[in-house]
Amino acid sequence: MSTESAAAKPAETPETDGPRDFIRQIIREDLAKGKHTAIRTRFPPEPNGYLHIGHAKSICLNFGIGREFAGWCNLRLDDTNPGKEDPEFVEGIKDDVRWLGYEWHDLRHASDYFEVFYRAAIKLIQDGHAYVDDLTAEQMREYRGTLTEPGRHSPFRDRSVEENLDLFRRMREGEFADGSKTLRAKIDMASGNINLRDPAIYRIRKVTHQNTGDAWPIYPMYDYAHCLSDALEGITHSLCTLEFEDHRPLYDWFVDNVDLPNHPELWQHMRDAGFRTEPAKPRQIEFSRLNLSYMITSKRKLAQLVSEGHVDGWDDPRMNTLRGLRRRGFTPGGIRLLIERLGVSKQNSVIDYAIFENCVREDLDASAARRMAVIDPLKLVITNLPEGHEETLTFPNHPKDESFGTRQVPLSRELWIEREDFAEVPPKGFHRLKPEGEVRLRGVGIVKCEQIIKDAAGNVTELHCTLDPDSRSGMPGADRKVKGTIHWVSAKHGVPAEIRIYDRLFNVATPDDESDGKTWIEHINPDAKRTVRGWLEPSAAGVEPEQRFQFERLGYFVADRVDHRPEAPVFNRTVTLRDTWAR
């Protein structure tokens, strides 16, 4: 049995200081009534893909509640669908949970309990609550009925207990072909809840499993395995999204009829192997999922983006997978802040993506040191500085937090500035550099544009400016006012870098809405990624991957976690300084 305990459990937060949503209120009431001595939750993803931003809400909720109420939360991989699952996804899920700042009490797999599920299925057969059906999947759909018409009984529904036990054991031994037989629960084919119309419990699939190999030719269905896993682990509060609300009666039916607490013979072999949890009946509570505009959270569609080459992989910074968001530079703190501000409710809604970006900006504003970079360079020559001039200036690393310290920035006669910071014919309200105009070079002083150099095609290639020496720090004219301040990088000392400018992957708020006659693929934003060659001040280049900075006046950037090297820097833009989509 696979277990993996936390290396260090997060500090407990007094529950009185935590959020006060309807789920936490239920837990407080349960504790007040003495219903539980400890709160136990779980995060149960299927390892058939990488986690996306929608999973972050469940992670923060389940692990957060375990932390707040001095309980614990398991990470459980619901690996009941072999063929689509992969150890790579398992490792990715573990990595993402840790990146968000959480550790689990135990790492579990639904496959750890396959023997329990099998014994429980035999009990259901013996109790007359399950039967082996020979109908094909298509026939079962036909017999199931509709929302307005009841289903019909399978002609195999009344097989004897002995026959069902024999057939099920032979299914287990691999005697029958894939799809030829199914174990179904015997509940109510006329139920208004279609989930209760004799749902499948086991199907035959002779597929190698990522955790158990070829030990099992039959696999339990998700609804059956999920609720029994919760019960086995003693989960007190089973938290899931609203689409599972109609599944709750089925979960309760399985848990009640298997009755693990009163049938230790079903799981005693696990106790002998070191399993220490006492089974219990969990309480399922549903909450609304996290839906953001300009995003999709369908695993199938995310996989399609990767397989068809619309993105560069699961960790492409345009993807809303947690791996993609991480590579783009989004922070765990920004994601947690989003979840905290949105709260928990039962009302489905679509949240403006700008709210997410603002949470990340807020977190980065406090945590990211400042640096200067130029991503569309134009040469500026300070003509009244001598050839070969070099000096070193001291800049604060963070204008709002002295604890970040200072850094040394080299200055030379020739600089790079942003091309957009010069206009030969300035528009109204333009307060940057223009012919005969003045602007303050950040931390240097005021320069005046005296001459414009152009190439044969008429493109501006160089600006010749003079520096007012009295406007430098400590000089009598240091306080002289000009309307514009621009940043720069020393051309002699600057480090060339690959700068990747990322934006939202889709150019419409609801990419799944095809009412405009376009498919969701056609809503991909062609400007979601562009690559430019820029220049960095030296202290921005020689950093480790995933170091985040605010490049002054440009936005927040991160050293790419895959491609960045100090000798060949690669930075990704995380977000702009302001919401550019609002316009």
pLDDT tens for each residue of 260-285: 999 999 999 998 888 888 999 999 99
Q: Report H helices in 455-565.
A: 538-541
The pLDDT tens digits of the residues spanning 14-62 come to 445 567 899 999 999 999 999 999 999 999 999 999 999 999 999 999 9
Q: Give the pairing of strands 529-536 and 373-374.
A: antiparallel
> Which pLDDT belongs to residue 3?
39
The residue from 15, 46, 233, 537 that is catalytic is: 46
> Which pLDDT belongs to residue 17?
58
Cα 229 to Cα 45, 93, 281, 428, 508, distances in angstroms = 13, 19, 10, 66, 40
46 is in an annotated binding site: yes
> Which pLDDT belongs to residue 18?
62
Residue type, 383: T
Cα 221 to Cα 114, 174, 184, 202, 230, distances in angstroms = 11, 17, 10, 6, 15
The pLDDT tens digits of the residues spanning 479-529 come to 899 999 999 999 999 999 999 999 999 999 999 998 899 999 999 999 999
Bridge partners for 359 per DSSP: none
CATH number at residue 380: 2.40.240.10
> Which pLDDT belongs to residue 519?
95
Tell me how far apart the alpha carbons of residues 195 and 264 are, in angstroms, rounded to a whole number: 28
> Which pLDDT belongs to residue 282?
96
In a domain, 289, yes or no: no
Tell me how far apart the alpha carbons of residues 195 and 407 are, in angstroms, rounded to a whole number: 64
In a domain, 288, yes or no: no
Q: Give the pairing of strands 40-43 and 390-396.
A: unpaired
The pLDDT of residue 8 is above 60:
no
**Is the Cβ–Cβ distance between 61 and 23 less than 8 Å?**
yes
**Is the Cβ–Cβ distance between 122 and 115 less than 8 Å?**
no
**Is the Cβ–Cβ distance between 109 and 79 less than 8 Å?**
yes
Domain final position from 222, 243, 264: 222
144 is in an annotated binding site: no
> Which pLDDT belongs to residue 19?
72
Specify whether 578 is catalytic: no
The pLDDT tens digits of the residues spanning 302-349 come to 999 999 999 999 999 999 999 999 999 999 999 999 999 999 999 989
**Is the Cβ–Cβ distance between 351 and 510 less than 8 Å?**
no
The pLDDT of residue 245 is above 60:
yes
Tell me how far apart the alpha carbons of residues 492 and 502 are, in angstroms, rounded to a whole number: 28
CA dihedral 330→333→334→338, nearest 10 degrees, is: 140
Domain boundaries, position 177: 115-222
**Is the Cβ–Cβ distance between 363 and 336 less than 8 Å?**
no
In a domain, 197, yes or no: yes
**Is the Cβ–Cβ distance between 226 and 201 less than 8 Å?**
no
The residue from 94, 98, 144, 289 that is catalytic is: 289
pLDDT bin (cut points 50, 70, 90) of residue 437 is: very high
* Interval 562-572 mean pLDDT: 97
The pLDDT tens digits of the residues spanning 447-459 come to 999 999 999 999 9
CA dihedral 400→402→405→409, nearest 10 degrees, is: 50
Q: In angstroms, how far is CA 141 from the centroid of its own chain?
A: 35
pTM over 0.85: yes
> Which pLDDT belongs to residue 85?
86
58 is in an annotated binding site: yes
Read out DSSP for 256-324? HHH-GGG-GGGTHHHHHTT--PPP---EEEEE---EETT----HHHHHHHHHTTSSSSTT-TTS-BHHH
Average pLDDT over the chain, rounded to whole?
A: 94
> Which pLDDT belongs to residue 276?
83
Specify whether 46 is catalytic: yes
> Which pLDDT belongs to residue 472?
93
290 is in an annotated binding site: yes
> Which pLDDT belongs to residue 6?
38
> Which pLDDT belongs to residue 464?
98
Strand, coil or helix: what is 75? Answer: strand
Cβ atoms within 10 Å of 473's Cβ, excluding its own = 10
519 burial (CB, 10 Å; 0-12 / 13-18 / 19+) is: exposed
Q: In angstroms, how far is CA 506 from the centroid of its own chain?
A: 17
Retrieve residue 583's tokens: 């316009």
The pLDDT tens digits of the residues spanning 137-170 come to 999 999 999 999 999 999 999 999 999 999 999 9
Cβ atoms within 10 Å of 283's Cβ, excluding its own = 18
Specify whether 28 is catalytic: no
**Is the Cβ–Cβ distance between 41 and 239 less than 8 Å?**
yes
Query: What DSSP designation does 426 have?
Result: P
Cβ neighbours for 104, distance < 8 A, ≥ 6 positions apart: 4, 5, 6, 43, 63, 72, 73, 74, 75, 97
**Is the Cβ–Cβ distance between 207 and 235 less than 8 Å?**
no
In a domain, 324, yes or no: no
Higher pLDDT, 7 or 71: 71
**Is the Cβ–Cβ distance between 236 and 115 less than 8 Å?**
no
In a domain, 571, yes or no: yes
Strand, coil or helix: what is 418? Answer: strand
398 burial (CB, 10 Å; 0-12 / 13-18 / 19+) is: middle
505 is in an annotated binding site: no
In a domain, 539, yes or no: yes
- Kindly list the strands in the beta sheet with 200-204, ordered across the sheet, starting from the edge strand earlier in the chain: 130-133, 182-185, 200-204, 218-220
Domain final position from 184, 205, 222: 222
Query: What DSSP designation does 136 have?
Result: -
> Which pLDDT belongs to residue 251?
98
> Which pLDDT belongs to residue 232?
96
Residue showing tokens 């996306």? 52
Query: What DSSP designation does 469 have?
Result: G
Q: Kindly report the CA angle at 279 between 266 and 166, in degrees rounded to 5? A: 20
Tell me how far apart the alpha carbons of residues 28 and 347 are, in angstroms, rounded to a whole number: 22
The pLDDT of residue 5 is above 50:
no
Cβ neighbours for 129, distance < 8 A, ≥ 6 positions apart: 185, 186, 187, 257
Domain final position from 222, 247, 267: 222
The pLDDT of residue 405 is above 80:
yes
Retrieve residue 56's tokens: 């972050």
In a domain, 518, yes or no: yes
Tally the domains of the chain.
Answer: 2
> Which pLDDT belongs to residue 391?
96
47 is in an annotated binding site: yes
54 is in an annotated binding site: yes
In a domain, 143, yes or no: yes
Query: What DSSP designation does 97 have?
Result: H
533 burial (CB, 10 Å; 0-12 / 13-18 / 19+) is: exposed
The pLDDT tens digits of the residues spanning 246-266 come to 999 999 999 999 999 999 999
CATH number at residue 206: 3.90.800.10
The pLDDT tens digits of the residues spanning 162-182 come to 999 999 999 999 999 999 999
pLDDT bin (cut points 50, 70, 90) of residue 403 is: very high
> Which pLDDT belongs to residue 582?
65
Bridge partners for 328 per DSSP: none
Tell me how far apart the alpha carbons of residues 435 and 450 are, in angstroms, rounded to a whole number: 7
* Interval 538-552 mean pLDDT: 97
Q: Kindly report the CA angle at 292 between 286 and 297, in degrees rounded to 5? A: 75
131 is in an annotated binding site: no
- Report the Cα–Cα distance between both ends of the chain, in Å, rounded: 55
Cβ neighbours for 524, distance < 8 A, ≥ 6 positions apart: 310, 505, 506, 507, 511
